[in-house]
Amino acid sequence: MARKIVKSRYYGDEGLIETMAEVPVDKLKAWGPDAELKVVGKPVSRLDGYEKVTGKAAFTFDVSLPRMTYAKILRSMVPHAKIRSIDTSEAEDLPGVLKILTHKNCPVIPWHWGTTVLFDTEVRYQGDEVACVVAESMQIAEDALSLIKVDYEILPFVSDPSEAMKAEAPKVHAWGNIIDGKPSLYSRGDVEKGFQDSDVIFEDTYSTQVVVHNPTEAHCSVVSWDGDKLTVWDSTQALFGVRDAIAKSLSMPASKVRVIKKFMGGGFGGKLEAGKYSVIAALISKEIGRPVRIALDRKEMNLSVGNRPDSVQKLKAGAKKDGTLLALSHYSFGNVGAYPNDADCSWPLRTLYKCPNVRTEEYSVLTNLGRARAYRAPGHVQGTFAFESMMDDLAEKLGLDPLELRRKNYTEIDPVSNRPYTSKLILDAYQKGSEAIGWKEKRKPAGSEKGRFRRGIGMASQIWWGGGGPPAYATIKLNEDASLHVMAGTQDLGTGTYTFLAQIASEVLELPIEKIQVTIGDTETCPYCSLSGGSMTAPSVSPAVRDASEQMKRKLISAAGAILETSESNVKYSAGKMSRLDDPAKIISISEVIEKLDEKMIVTTGAREANPEGYEINTFGAQFAEVEVDTDTGKVRVIKVVAAHDIGRVLNQKTLFNQLHGGIIQGIGYALMEERVVDTYTGKVLTTNIHDYKIPTIMETPQIEVIIVSSGDLLISNTGVKGVGEPAIIPTAAAIANAVYNATGVRIKSLPITADKVLMALSEKN
Amino acid sequence: MYNPVIFICNGKEIRTSASPTLTLLDFIRRELFLTGTKEGCREGDCGACTVLIGAGSDDGSVSYSAVNSCLIPLGTLHGKHLLTIEGLPKDALSPFQQALIKEGGIQCGFCTPGLIMSVTGFLLSEKDLSIEHAIEAIAGNICRCTGYKSIKRALESFLCDSGINPEAGEKRMESLIENGFIPPYFRNIPELLRSIPPFAEDPEDTKLKPYFAGGTDIMVQKQGEATDINFHFLKWSEERVRVEDGFIVLDAALKVSSIMDSAVLKTCLPQLESCLGLFGSRQIRNQATLGGNLANASPIADLANIFLALDGRLTLQNGDQVREVPLRDFFLGYKRLSKTESERIVKLKLPVPESGFFFNFEKVSRRKHLDVASVNSSVYMKAIDGRVKFIHIAAGGVAPYPLYLKETSSFLEGKSLTSGIILEAALIAQSECSPISDIRGSEEYKRLLLRQLIFAHFMKFNPELIYSPEILFQAQAPSKIF
């Protein structure tokens, strides 16, 4: 089918992505809200269910190859030091040790945009790579690590970003501790004038903690060379990113690197980048001529593979008496750890409401701690907690219902770009969500409850991107037996990609889902799709599969026309059979068509169409939380969460609910218990396992009610899908914080809202 | 070369000369290549490696427990039945597996096998097959994706119509086979286990080895696959909790879950079961022992705290020598015990509670379940017409060892309870404790929390006396009571 190259513009985890992309010339008409779909949107059971409930699903962690060897990384125990010398001789003498790589014998391979190398002579955080041992067994590799002697010249370190910003602070890198040496700035209108014109000014400081992804499957790779060709099994959200990073690091053609990832035990943004560990394993594997498995342990997972940066956010709002926002300002800094990343979090403040005058100033600060990475709605989760807490405070000050304040400042146009949204149903989310939680009936004035256990209700709004965009391709192969193979170079984090891609093809070609095989997660056999982050997978890839499937249908109709000796317009397609409209008895099946074509299969490749020009694509929603606070101990229990979201078309109700429930529970973890704790005296992380780093269990699960207010966005793509993975977690913590305030009259301005903070605040109040 | 460890894995006998201290999880994945059992944390905190261990008893029955295979040394498996996800029925999915698929109780799938094993263990061993108990049975299985709601639905959907015989024991087992939850080879397991000879251990050698009870602490501390220490693996006590001469007697080798299940304790101390529900996870409770928790002497040990308040007395044994020591005299300092190296804790005795007694356990931790307390506290008391006849209060997390609040308790004895008296008691408790700031809270917070937990005890004892903590605040400014 005809294609063209266009400018493509969409938002991913890292913000705006502007690229050139190949897209279909003709756009398929989107399924309308009334489209009678038989498979799409239905609660189809996941196709990989059988493999997963029987333990047969092979994760990267489970890959085992003949003659495989085991790698283990020695990591810095100290937050900042120069390596004076490394003595590996004793470790090398240990029987079963095959190879030890350190800065002394490793090629210089730049990492983190050239700010460090694979094995640096300066370690900048507890967990930085120092050496890697490959041995016949895990036990030998671990034993060998303890025999490596490293002589460190200890350097001064800094853990606290507010300290790191000071001129006299120890330098994490010679070039300074602030990314780009300056804040990232944004402004619109005249903020000072906006504040002058305001009837009410509110300002306060909110802060959030560092949290760690902690997916259940550790980061891991298994690498194997076949001549000059490298195959890498990696637990990754970004197949092609890993392929290209490894090819570049090893100075080899990308065509010689194959990255495979069938199943992975979660990612949440922490697996969006190639890891040093994969490159290290590939280097050693080449040298010893045997496959290498490298799997990080839980301590490494908590030190070295990313986290959500913390934030200190100073917010100020000016509003008229009626609640109209006139000015907003945001000053923040966040800890990105030892290597570049960003900690910006002002997008919700910039975009959630109509406000003519806005100014933001944000610092991403380097410290001697593990580096931050994208984590499920990076920036928005921190930013929404602070901004939506402040909106609640502002409503209280104005004497307005918090929901009314938000409705008052609703906007149909993106306040940053001044473009309209393709769709925005946040008012429906307010309406339906507030009804479901009992906003009017149950919500009482803040702090008016008596007794030991006090209940409260709070809410927060959500905005995120999640529209996806091109490039994304899918190839489908229809076999003579009318079985179908869908192939796309995307990846499934466990979210249900296998299933919904099959559903799209099944819908269009009316073939039973059992006859459809989906292959994703393989750079060699699948056409390109982007990484799986930014809630982009479903909105980017599903339209490409529909495009390929519609092309397949047209091909079949064309072939049937030729075979049945009639025009294509006289051929009707139904459930894998083509018949003449004027003579329904003349009917031919897929098998007969393919046999006549003398091909074993028909192949088509579809592409994601361009996003509509002049629009912004965003997801929206609101979450409402009911909590109970024990005023004797400060313990907070979440009783119910209502999540009402505009996420375009639902592809699969079951996997959608999981995404939302899972995001909300992670949001509860963020709000109440998860926290990386650092001892600033030693620069060491105290929470290096999930004994100390608390993740919610089933016992922390409240009632959850999900309401989807959207039925499909006709403007964005032929499937009308927006993403849902990130919207799910964004407003949860803010809604809980607002509910705690409503219950107790005490505002907890720093996350997590632990019993000690609540109890201390309550006892101060009394 | 080690003496062979022999056990039944799924339906087959395994005989291995691998080190008895090898971590079972590593043996399963690396030696048996059964990779359905997942590795998540290697510390018993995620449940991804959950397997079932079946132990035969003299009456021929086999009782199953879900445990974390990352905390089990291979040696404890001798003569037992190991069930992994691969040992479930092969011809058709079990009703729970089907329910998980149907209700969407799976996302990435990494935690799924461990979850299924926990539920299978629940079906095999739990007396009360209620949804609440089922949920509680999987509280130690961390899922980072689904948000648990779909898992809960899956549990509800199959439990409401499972065809499982509610009567625990052989009939239950048979109904589980008939309904496809477990395969028919389960019928042969008792016989297979009987055919395994006892572990060949040199009795002289045994004397030199340290005892290995539940292992939930030592297995976390050891790094890597195996340890150099050669343990003597203690048998989990089969003996029931019993009443002898006015005392409830508990074997030191009792698992925490056995204490919870004890009929004697359910009658004499019905509050205990729900208190112990806050102790670790089901898997941990199926492994951790009473003696281990007491000997470990962690300042925040839940069992130590509870049994200090319940006026427990320990029996220590060294060969033929036996002596008794009150639990409150047992803890001397941080990890220091009134016990010689060769003495072993064999029994705990508790006075049978008088009728009309009040017992309460409070624990505040960051996560309510599967967590260690910031501060915990127990009270055991009796009051007649508002006057305290006797009272014992214990507090954890506020001293270098599990603390018995001696002064506070003796102050309250004989007093008529008023809010003023309770405030005064809380003040005395402050003078008895010496908390330090650590990851579980600052010193100031722990002091405040201890006060609040003492309030909580009396709020539960008599809600009319204190219906809200503010009543106490109004009586006296909080700063004055430190």
Q: Given 3.90.550.10, 3.10.20.30, 1.10.357.10, 3.90.1150.10, which CATH number is that of B5-194? A: 3.10.20.30
Cβ atoms of residues B442 and B357 within 8 Å: no
Provide, as residue numbers in chain A, all residues whose Cβ is less than 8 Å from the Cβ of B364: 633-635, 755
pLDDT digits (tens, 9 = 90+) for A174-192: 999 999 999 999 999 999 9
Q: Does A133 touch chain B (CB under 8 A)?
A: no
- Rounded mean pLDDT, A570-590: 96
Q: Number of helices (H) and strands (E), helices first, in chain B? A: 19, 18
Smallest Cβ–Cβ distance between B148 and the set A493, A635, A665 belongs to A665
A465: nearest Cα among A184, A730, A208: A730
- The Cα–Cα gap between B480 and B276 comes to 35
pLDDT at A34: 83
pLDDT at B234: 66
Cβ atoms of residues A608 and A555 within 8 Å: no
Instruction: Provide the residue ranges of all domains of chain B, joining segments of one domain with +.
Output: 5-194, 235-351, 359-481
A537: nearest Cα among A239, A274, A308, A221: A239
| Residue A43 confidence class, pLDDT cut points 50, 70, 90 | very high
Terminal CA-CA length for chain A: 72
Instruction: Tally C-beta pairs within 8 A across A and B.
Output: 250
- The Cα–Cα gap between A418 and A71 comes to 52
Cβ atoms of residues B375 and B396 within 8 Å: yes
Q: Does A49 touch chain B (CB under 8 A)?
A: yes
| Residue B471 confidence class, pLDDT cut points 50, 70, 90 | low
pLDDT digits (tens, 9 = 90+) for A480-517: 999 999 999 999 999 999 999 999 999 999 999 999 99
pLDDT at B224: 63
**Which helix or strand (DSSP H or E) is residue A552 part of?**
helix A537-563
Cβ atoms of residues A373 and A200 within 8 Å: no
Phi first, then psi: what are they for B256, rounded to 5°? -60, -40
Strand partners, B317: B322, B344
pLDDT digits (tens, 9 = 90+) for B255-285: 999 999 999 999 999 999 999 999 999 999 9
Q: Given 3.20.20.70, 1.10.10.10, 3.30.390.50, 3.30.420.40, which CATH number is that of B359-481? A: 3.30.390.50
Sorted by sequence, the CB contacts under 8 Å of residue A157 that are 6+ apart come out as A78, A79, A80, A170, A368, A683
**Which helix or strand (DSSP H or E) is residue B358 part of?**
strand B358-364
Cβ atoms of residues B433 and B447 within 8 Å: yes
Specify burial of residue B460 (Cβ count, 10 A radius: 0-12, 13-18, 19+).
Answer: middle
Percent above pLDDT 90 for chain B: 76
In the numeric block, the tokens 């009316």 are attached to A510
pLDDT at residue A563 is higher than 50: yes
Percent above pLDDT 90 for chain A: 95
**Which helix or strand (DSSP H or E) is residue B322 part of?**
strand B321-326
pLDDT at residue B199 is higher than 90: no
pLDDT at residue B472 is higher than 70: no
pLDDT digits (tens, 9 = 90+) for A232-258: 999 999 999 999 999 999 999 999 999
Please name the residue of chain A whose CA is at the shortest distance from the CA of residue B116.
A53
pLDDT at A14: 72
| Residue B429 confidence class, pLDDT cut points 50, 70, 90 | very high
| Residue B208 confidence class, pLDDT cut points 50, 70, 90 | low
pLDDT digits (tens, 9 = 90+) for A398-447: 999 999 999 999 999 999 999 999 999 999 999 999 999 999 999 999 98
Sorted by sequence, the CB contacts under 8 Å of residue B160 that are 6+ apart come out as none
Which ipTM did the prediction report? 0.96
pLDDT at B467: 65
Chain B nearest C-alpha distance from A118 (Å): 26
Smallest Cβ–Cβ distance between A46 and the set B33, B104, B459 belongs to B104
| Residue B229 confidence class, pLDDT cut points 50, 70, 90 | low
pLDDT at B481: 42
- Tokens matching residue B254: 């009792």
CATH placement of domain B235-351: 3.30.465.10
pLDDT at A474: 98
pLDDT digits (tens, 9 = 90+) for A323-374: 999 999 999 999 999 999 999 999 999 999 999 999 999 999 999 999 999 9
| Residue B478 confidence class, pLDDT cut points 50, 70, 90 | very low
Sorted by sequence, the CB contacts under 8 Å of residue B258 that are 6+ apart come out as B236, B237, B241
pLDDT digits (tens, 9 = 90+) for B3-40: 899 999 999 999 999 988 899 999 999 999 999 999 99
pLDDT at residue B222 is higher than 80: no
pLDDT at B206: 61
Strand runs (DSSP E) across A13-80, as ranges? 15-24, 69-75
Sorted by sequence, the CB contacts under 8 Å of residue A662 that are 6+ apart come out as A728, B107, B144, B145, B146, B147
pLDDT digits (tens, 9 = 90+) for A87-131: 999 999 999 999 999 999 999 999 999 999 999 999 999 999 999
Cβ atoms of residues A277 and A223 within 8 Å: no
pLDDT digits (tens, 9 = 90+) for A609-642: 999 999 999 999 999 999 999 999 999 999 999 9
- The Cα–Cα gap between B273 and B270 comes to 7
- Inspect the interface and report whether the beta carbons of B142 and A216 lie closer than 8 Å: yes
- Rounded mean pLDDT, B159-169: 85
Please name the residue of chain A whose CA is at the shortest distance from the CA of residue B457.
A632
Instruction: Please give the C-alpha separations between residue B385 and each of B414, B417, B462, in angstroms, as whole numbers.
Output: 11, 10, 12
**Composition of chain B by helix, strand, coil, percent to 5:** 35, 20, 40
pLDDT at residue A651 is higher than 60: yes
Cβ atoms of residues A256 and A230 within 8 Å: yes
Out of A7-21, A211-225, B366-380, B384-398, which region has the weakest mean confidence (pLDDT)?
Answer: A7-21
- The Cα–Cα gap between A515 and A502 comes to 9
pLDDT at residue B223 is higher than 70: no
Could you check whether the bond before residue A378 is cis, i.e. omega within 30 degrees of 0? no
Cβ atoms of residues A437 and A506 within 8 Å: no
| Residue B219 confidence class, pLDDT cut points 50, 70, 90 | confident
Cβ atoms of residues B265 and B242 within 8 Å: no
Chain A nearest C-alpha distance from B283 (Å): 14
| Residue B437 confidence class, pLDDT cut points 50, 70, 90 | very high
- The Cα–Cα gap between B132 and A585 comes to 60
Chain B nearest C-alpha distance from A370 (Å): 19
B416: nearest Cα among B451, B458, B444, B388: B388
- Which of A14 and A724 is assigned the larger pLDDT? A724
Phi first, then psi: what are they for A672, rounded to 5°? -120, -25
- The Cα–Cα gap between A556 and A162 comes to 65
- The Cα–Cα gap between A285 and A247 comes to 15
Smallest Cβ–Cβ distance between B145 and the set A662, A690, A766 belongs to A662
pLDDT digits (tens, 9 = 90+) for A45-69: 999 999 999 999 999 999 999 999 9
Amino acid at A117: V
Domains and CATH numbers, chain A: 3-59+468-607 (3.30.365.10), 63-155+219-295 (3.90.1170.50), 311-467+614-765 (3.30.365.10)
Smallest Cβ–Cβ distance between A632 and the set B30, B368, B459 belongs to B459
